[in-house]
Structure 1
Amino acid sequence: MTAAPHQATPAAGKRRIPPGALKAYVASLTGTSLEYYDFAIYSVASALVFPKVFFPGNDEYVGLLLSFSTFAVGYLARPIGGVIFGRLGDKIGRKQVLVTTLLLIGIATVVIGALPGYATIGIAAPIILVLLRLAQGIGVGGEWGGAVLLSSEFGDAKRRGFWSSAAQIGPPAGNLMANGVLAVLAATLSTEDFLSWGWRVAFLASALLVGFGLLIRLKLEETPVFKAIQAHGEQPKAPIKEVFTKEPRALVSAALSRISPDVLYSLLTVFMAVYATKELGMSTSNVLTAILIGSAFQLVLIPAAGALTDRLNRRLVYGVAALGTAVYIPLFFVMIQDKSVITLTVGIVIGLAFHAFMYGPQAAYITEQFPARLRYAGSSLAYTLAGVVGGAIAPLVFTALFAASGNWFLIAGYLAVASIVTVFGLAIGRNPHTDEEERLLQEARA
């Protein structure tokens, strides 16, 4: 008796990788890796280099404050990029916008590496630095939403959690690359050489990442989903306006979903460097090593978490990780009071694992809150607006709470509130819908 015509063999049962999906995955990963590579090296330079090179003066704290203000400009500029490029991404396509954002971020980063200091060109030096940081922030504001759509719209809509996780691997990948470059420079240069010219190498090296990402993005076609939208003439005339007027619930849900993972990441990778060194007496290298080990685990955990939510309910997995964070952080602070480097490392690795199970499916969750024709604008707005009230202010809030109380209790409470806010955002969101994409693609092929 012959097998039924539609009976699946083991080989046939395997899900096929869509054409262009792997290239899109790499292209998405490259852009967000550049973003966080820049984030890591800029944060180091803001503390160690820029006060001396661009903001010299009699008061070193004034120079440090001015230097950190340029760091904040990058965050504040992101919503501008979300509006500009989010609108264009839904009107003219994902590919063209993503080439522009990659060039904007990359050129600004490289020019910072070549920018003469205050001693050479005077007041023009800090002014140009601020403008370059503004350009970086605008580029980043338009990069994330498009990078997510690039990988997810080339991939299988039913596996959006995995395919869209490409953009989410950027933070650990960028941190690892930046710290690798900085470690090599620190090991081979004297402090004087690093402050004189070595820091510039870290910025100029980003040109390699830009060139690689640009090569891939230029060879990619437009995403199949946008092609189908274009074929039907369904591009929105005013996508930003439509998001605010027709999708306010989706925008709120998507934005709130970011709060807990952003605040948690700031705690573990920014504030912990201060807390562990000043309160626990550990060295900076101990903390950085722990963060790097946690980041290495995230390279695997983030796509795994995204893939898991393709099989289980995405909001459920995300919400459990958020609530788990609220419970874990007090335990984490209790654990590390033994001042053991091993305990700190294990604690940060576990904390970043909780982050991975929110951050991995985050891109899929945010994009699927919006209809395909408004995805770029909606995702970019949610991502950038939430970043300003989440990750951007979290280190300042941690510092203020610790200064006011002298202990970690209020900080743990802050994380608990952030987790509850995220769970609320997930509760008002929607589960994945793939019918719209399947309809668009089927009609485009017909």
Structure 2
Amino acid sequence: MHSQVESPPVSIDDRASSHAAGRPLGARDYRTLALAALGGTLEFYDFVIFVFFTSVIGSLFFPPGIPDWLRQFQTFGIFAVGYFVRPVGGIVMAHFGDLLGRKKMFTLSVLLMSLPTLLIGVLPTFAQIGFAAPLLLLLMRVLQGAAVGGEVPGAWVFVSEHVPRRHVGLACGTLTGGLTAGILLGSLVATATNAAFDRTDILAFAWRLPFIAGGIFGIVAMFLRRWLEETPVFRELQARKAVAASMPLRTVMRSHLRGVALSMTLTWTLSAVIIVIVLMMPALMQKNFHLPPADTLAGSSVATIALTIGCVVAGLLSDRIGPRLVLALGSALLAVCFTWFYGRLHVGAPLQAWLGPYTVTGFAVGMIGAIPLMMVRAFPAAIRFTGISFSYNIAYAIFGGLTPILISLASVATVMAPVIYVAALCIVAIVAAVCQRGATHRDR
């Protein structure tokens, strides 16, 4: 059966928002952005808190006596599984988001994330149930990955379809900043846990507390999103009976491969810089340079604050000068700053020697705040959720899932592996920005 809308007219978004395109952001817009960003913060916390306790989880959920590099590889492998399964959850949620509404899926994703997070906090360890422990941990990461697969694309679509066109960049940048704030929250909680408990207590019980708290956060986020309204763009699609009847993915694959290719390339860059610079750096600094966990987690927290601010700035600039220019300039800045920061690291390096460069690097990572606007513009409204979700999640599953494994293996050969990888991806982003001459659908 073919969908009712095979090639949706560009003017649908115009009819839904042209009357308000020039208006300033109002109280309802700010409430929508605040609730969406806060919900994204809490859900992303649930997804990333795992990485801040990889060394502890590796000690508790894998057999004792195996080499440290193998334990780290296995733990990062389970973390990566969450990325590999994202396309399944993302495509399914996006399918129904394009058919039934953005809000329903936007709320459901939080519930599907919070329950596995809560369960990780009460899982028995290898010492208690043997090899069933890592298998159960793996299952929880699969469920988390399926949930977050629908969260990020759904969030971008949701906020972009609520605000006036001239503020879509700011909306997407703010939402992305909210998601990265979830990483900050995870870093702060990990830092507080390490400060409040000694190693013995953390191994005994304290590592569980951040996961149990994450489950509670998810339930709070679910209730918060009940206050949100369906997007005006989707309501307009419903009123005009222009919602796809079935298989929006078929239309994406037949008519919008250019948007898919662009979005996958941009996601490759986004995944690399977030995973390497923010999520993996504390563990890498501890392993490669023997820096204290408290210092690395504190540095990560400061850098993530700068990243959150950088996302908002990038979104704001995207509305002024265009996302392509912001992405190109930001990528060049990031390659320089990360190289500078990494060059300040050495065995026993004090916090003050590298904190400043790490902070500037975090702000430069904020150039990813320009990426959602490019992706939103790449697809028309009727299949936008599916187009972004398919592209984003497939690319994240491939590149996001492989990045921790590749970096761990390459670091055995050279400690410069993170710098080489990030610099290469910055070049890819610049090429993508230069080659993308214009957005296919400027209605958003």
Structures share fold, TM-score greater than 0.5: yes
RMSD of aligned Cα (Å): 2.8
Residue-by-residue CA offset, 1:9-53 (whole Å, 9 max, x unaligned): xxxxx943246322321232133323431244212333213542x
Look up the equivalent residue of 2:370 and give its one-letter code: P
Task: Give the deviation of 1:402 after TM superposition.
Answer: 3.8
Equivalent position to 1:392, from 395, 401, 419: 401
Greater Cα offset, 36-45 or 225-234: 36-45
Aligned partners of 2:436, 2:135: CA distance in 1, in Å? Answer: 42
- Structure 1 segment 110-149 matched on structure 2, within 5 A: 110-118=118-126, 120=128, 124-149=132-157
- The residue number in structure 2 matching 1:369 is 378
Residue-by-residue CA offset, 1:77-100 (whole Å, 9 max, x unaligned): 111112111111111111111111
Look up the equivalent residue of 1:424 and give its one-letter code: V
Unaligned runs of 5+ in 2: 1-21
Note if contact 1:260-1:322 (Cα within 8 Å) is conserved in structure 2.
no
1:264 correspondence with 2:270: no
Aligned partners of 1:214, 1:66: CA distance in 2, in Å? Answer: 32
Task: Give the deviation of 1:246 after TM superposition.
Answer: 0.8
Task: Give the deviation of 1:387 after TM superposition.
Answer: 1.7
Note if contact 1:18-1:154 (Cα within 8 Å) is conserved in structure 2.
no
Q: SS of the counterpart of 1:205?
A: helix
- The residue number in structure 2 matching 1:322 is 331
Look up the equivalent residue of 2:164 and give its one-letter code: D
Aligned partners of 1:385, 1:427: CA distance in 2, in Å? Answer: 23
- Alignment size in residue pairs: 421
Aligned partners of 2:363, 2:72: CA distance in 1, in Å? Answer: 33
Greater Cα offset, 134-143 or 336-345: 336-345
For residues 232 and 393 of structure 1, do their structure 2 counterparts lie closer, same or farther at Cα, with a shift above 3 Å needed?
A: same
1:244 correspondence with 2:249: no
Task: Give the deviation of 1:337 after TM superposition.
Answer: 5.9
Task: Give the deviation of 1:329 after TM superposition.
Answer: 3.6
Task: Give the deviation of 1:345 after TM superposition.
Answer: 0.9
Equivalent position to 1:33, from 33, 37, 41: 41
Equivalent position to 1:293, from 293, 299, 302: 302
Note if contact 1:108-1:135 (Cα within 8 Å) is conserved in structure 2.
yes
Equivalent position to 1:68, from 73, 76, 92: 76
Note if contact 2:86-2:147 (Cα within 8 Å) is conserved in structure 1.
yes
For residues 21 and 432 of structure 1, do their structure 2 counterparts lie closer, same or farther at Cα, with a shift above 3 Å needed?
A: farther
For residues 19 and 329 of structure 1, do their structure 2 counterparts lie closer, same or farther at Cα, with a shift above 3 Å needed?
A: closer
Greater Cα offset, 414-423 or 181-190: 181-190
Aligned partners of 1:45, 1:275: CA distance in 2, in Å? Answer: 13
- The residue number in structure 2 matching 1:17 is 25
1:415 correspondence with 2:422: yes
Task: Give the deviation of 1:145 after TM superposition.
Answer: 0.8
Tell me which stretches of 4 or more aligned residues in structure 1 moved more than 6 Å.
none
Aligned partners of 1:271, 1:194: CA distance in 2, in Å? Answer: 20
Greater Cα offset, 292-301 or 248-257: 292-301
Q: SS of the counterpart of 1:222?
A: coil
1:308 correspondence with 2:321: no
Larger radius of gyration: 1
Task: Give the deviation of 1:226 after TM superposition.
Answer: 0.7
Note if contact 1:78-1:138 (Cα within 8 Å) is conserved in structure 2.
yes
- The residue number in structure 2 matching 1:429 is 436
Unaligned runs of 5+ in 1: 1-13, 438-446
Look up the equivalent residue of 1:251 and give its one-letter code: V
Residue-by-residue CA offset, 1:230-272 (whole Å, 9 max, x unaligned): 1111122211121111111111111112333432333322454
- Structure 1 segment 171-250 matched on structure 2, within 5 A: 171-236=179-244, 237-250=246-259
Residue-by-residue CA offset, 1:285-325 (whole Å, 9 max, x unaligned): 22222221111223322212201110112111111111233
Residue-by-residue CA offset, 1:198-231 (whole Å, 9 max, x unaligned): 2221111123422332122112221111111111
Aligned partners of 1:261, 1:275: CA distance in 2, in Å? Answer: 19
For residues 193 and 330 of structure 1, do their structure 2 counterparts lie closer, same or farther at Cα, with a shift above 3 Å needed?
A: closer
Aligned partners of 1:67, 1:330: CA distance in 2, in Å? Answer: 27
Residue-by-residue CA offset, 1:319-370 (whole Å, 9 max, x unaligned): 11112333444344444469453231111111111110x2112222211111
Look up the equivalent residue of 1:344 and give its one-letter code: W
For residues 278 and 262 of structure 1, do their structure 2 counterparts lie closer, same or farther at Cα, with a shift above 3 Å needed?
A: same
Note if contact 1:369-1:430 (Cα within 8 Å) is conserved in structure 2.
no
Aligned partners of 2:119, 2:419: CA distance in 1, in Å? Answer: 40
For residues 313 and 228 of structure 1, do their structure 2 counterparts lie closer, same or farther at Cα, with a shift above 3 Å needed?
A: same
Task: Give the deviation of 1:432 after TM superposition.
Answer: 5.4
For residues 424 and 44 of structure 1, do their structure 2 counterparts lie closer, same or farther at Cα, with a shift above 3 Å needed?
A: same
Q: SS of the counterpart of 1:220?
A: coil
Look up the equivalent residue of 1:298 and give its one-letter code: L
Aligned partners of 2:420, 2:184: CA distance in 1, in Å? Answer: 30
- Structure 1 segment 333-352 matched on structure 2, within 5 A: 333-336=342-345, 339-352=349-362
Look up the equivalent residue of 1:346 and give its one-letter code: G
Task: Give the deviation of 1:57 after TM superposition.
Answer: 4.8
For residues 155 and 311 of structure 1, do their structure 2 counterparts lie closer, same or farther at Cα, with a shift above 3 Å needed?
A: same
Look up the equivalent residue of 2:359 and give its one-letter code: V
Q: SS of the counterpart of 2:121?
A: helix
TM-score w.r.t. length of structure 2: 0.85
Residue-by-residue CA offset, 1:109-128 (whole Å, 9 max, x unaligned): 11221233455555544433
Q: Percent identity?
A: 26
Q: SS of the counterpart of 1:393?
A: helix
Aligned partners of 2:168, 2:131: CA distance in 1, in Å? Answer: 48
Greater Cα offset, 175-184 or 265-274: 265-274
TM-score w.r.t. length of structure 1: 0.85
